[in-house]
Structure 1
């Protein structure tokens, strides 16, 4: 079997190395997702009657724990990371709902606050772990 290789010119490789508008979309999309999720949480906590309250709150309830779990799984492939993060987000939401129902403390605001706290704690633990790893490597170098 023969391998076919395509030679690229120097201008093609220079264009790929140069950051452009398409290369800077990731932080922009992350910021937009944060704004949409935050808006959904605020609308739900405020008890707004807006028709966007349901979809934006659902987005927040899936995106916040998924982002926290995905940050903790930086060693997996992108597809595996997405699948595990979304499944983990569903599990976090179900555990919060089950615990609140078992304790007879169910409320929309309480559920959103609990999911927010769990997601923030997970992100905080990931950041602490990464910072400890950096300081340990710097001391040994």
Structure 2
């Protein structure tokens, strides 16, 4: 079966803990690395279903680049609107990631449905 599902589960758990640390304003030495992991992993995993046609390494690079773009657009938008906060940034990146992932699922479901 392999270790891929185990690594995926650990990654999801680490991202959720990082988001919880930021949103609940909890203090921990692991807060910074886990929040950073969430900010890179959540948009990257959300973009992954859109890039199924690429080989593995091209997909990793594209998802990582896309995650950085999402983070930078959220940060720039919040700074331009004078509403910057750590909690708001994490919430906005999480919300955008969920929307991107759900749009990929909806697209896949629409193409599978019998006509």
- Normalising by structure 2, what TM-score? 0.96
Q: 1:1-141, aligned counterparts within 5 Å?
A: 23-136=1-114, 139=115
4+ aligned runs moved over 3 Å, structure 1: none
Is there any run of 5+ residues in structure 1 with no aligned partner, and where?
A: 1-22
Count of aligned pairs between the two proteins: 115
Greater RCO, CA 8 A, separation 6+:
2
Q: Give how far 1:66 is off.
A: 0.3
**Matches of 1:58 and 1:129 in 2, distance apart?**
29
SS at match of 1:106: coil
Q: Give how far 1:97 is off.
A: 0.3
Structure with bigger gyration radius: 1
Q: Give how far 1:47 is off.
A: 1.2
Q: Give how far 1:24 is off.
A: 3.4
**Matches of 2:62 and 2:15 in 1, distance apart?**
20
Is there any run of 5+ residues in structure 2 with no aligned partner, and where?
A: none
RMSD between aligned residues: 0.9
